[in-house]
Amino acid sequence: MLHLKKLEPFEGIDKRLIEEINRLGKIREYKKGSPAMDADDTIKHFYIVLEGRIKVYRYNPANNREQTLYLLGPRDMFDVLTVLDGKRHEVMTEALDDARVLELPIEKVREWIDRYPAFNRAFFPYMARQMRQVEELASDLSLYDTSTRLMKLLLKNIDLSSPAKHLGLLHNLPHEEIASMIGTVRHVVNRHLQQLKKEGILSIERKKLAVNNVKKMLEKVEDDY
Tens place of pLDDT per residue across the chain (225 aa):
777 777 877 877 888 898 999 999 999 999 999 999 999 999 999 999 999 999 999 999 998 899 999 999 999 999 999 999 999 999 999 999 999 999 999 999 999 999 999 889 889 999 999 999 999 999 999 999 999 999 999 999 987 766 666 788 998 899 999 999 999 999 999 999 999 999 999 988 876 888 889 899 999 998 766
**Res 195: pLDDT:** 95
**Res 95: pLDDT:** 98
**Res 165: pLDDT:** 67
Task: Look at the pTM and tell me if it is higher than 0.75.
Answer: yes
**Res 3: pLDDT:** 75
User: What does each C-alpha distance from 209 to 7, 73, 150, 212 come to in angstroms?
Assistant: 30, 18, 12, 10
Contact between residue 21 and residue 30 where contact means Cβ atoms under 8 Å apart: no
- Cβ contacts of 89 within 8 Å, gap of 6 or more: 39, 42, 79, 81, 82
Strand partners, 104: 46
How many of the other CB atoms lie within 10 Å of CB of 131?
12
Q: What whole-number distance in Å separates Cα of residue 137 and Cα of residue 59?
A: 16
Contact between residue 54 and residue 44 where contact means Cβ atoms under 8 Å apart: no
